[in-house]
Chains A and B, each alone.
Chain A
Amino acid sequence: DQQVKQNSPSLSVQEGRISILNCDYTNSMFDYFLWYKKYPAEGPTFLISISSIKDKNEDGRFTVFLNKSAKHLSLHIVPSQPGDSAVYFCAASGGGGADGLTFGKGTHLIIQP
């Protein structure tokens, strides 16, 4: 049972445009959400997080939106840059069971020049 889902395995966006990465979750006990960026053979790099008591958090070019009623969150990257090409993982914590992070399968973002 996949509690965190990233339904788009890949996404292609033109440089300078907005990249929107989506994530859905099923466990209503999750209370903290994180986004990570990962290059091959490296560990994930923390990007931005959001608490379930908020609906938006912004950090530079990155903004995360949380819709609790829909159990949906999204990461917006504006403007997209070539260096943003990587796999992006959505993660959630506080699921009531094991307290480690529960990850989605990732979305491979490709920024086209």
Chain B
Amino acid sequence: KAGVTQTPRYLIKTRGQQVTLSCSPISGHRSVSWYQQTPGQGLQFLFEYFSETQRNKGNFPGRFSGRQFSNSRSEMNVSTLELGDSALYLCASSFDSRNTEAFFGQGTRLTVV
């Protein structure tokens, strides 16, 4: 059974640009959550999608958005990039929205210069 796949693995962007990250969950999983990991703040919840609907959103500005497709694949978009957006972005998939067993992808390392 394939795991959670995130693309790309590494990305370098310039301030002011926008970026789209992709996540393919484990087959059969309908919930996809996104997290940001930085050295100072640790792992922080961005948002969760379940059956193409955003169920929950963490405390991040509106520049961070996402969507989920009918095949459960999810994309995350960050507009008007800031230096502070440099982080490891992690996607987690789970069968239901309770996150009782959430499996993470390898992450996308975003560097904003």
Chain A residues within 8 Å of B, Cβ to Cβ? 32, 34, 36, 41-46, 49, 51, 89, 91, 93-94, 98-106
B90 with A44: CB separation less than 8 A: yes
Contact of A101 with B102 at beta-carbon distance under 8 Å, contacts A41-B107, A41-B109 already known = yes
A46 to B100 CA separation, bound complex (whole angstroms): 10
Task: Give the total number of A-B pairs whose CB atoms are below 8 A apart.
Answer: 74
User: What are 9 A-B pairs with beta-carbon distances under 8 A?
Assistant: A34-B102, A41-B88, A43-B4, A43-B104, A91-B43, A98-B56, A98-B57, A100-B56, A101-B35
Interface residue tally of chain B, by bracket?
20 to 34
Name the one of B59, B92, B99 contacting A99, with C-beta atoms under 8 angstroms. Answer: B99
User: Is B16's CB within 8 Å of the partner chain A?
Assistant: no
Q: How far is the CA of A30 from the CA of B50 in the complex (A)?
A: 20
B residues near A, CB below 8 A? Answer: 4, 6, 33, 35, 42-48, 55-59, 88, 90, 92, 97-107, 109
A89 touches B57 (CB 8 A): no
Given known contacts A43-B90, A89-B43, A105-B42, A99 and B102 CB-to-CB distance under 8 angstroms: no
Task: Verify A101–B42 contact, CB threshold 8 A.
Answer: no
Bound: A49/B94 CA distance, A: 13
Contact, CB under 8 Å: A46 / B103: yes
A29: shortest Cβ distance to chain B, in Å?
Answer: 13
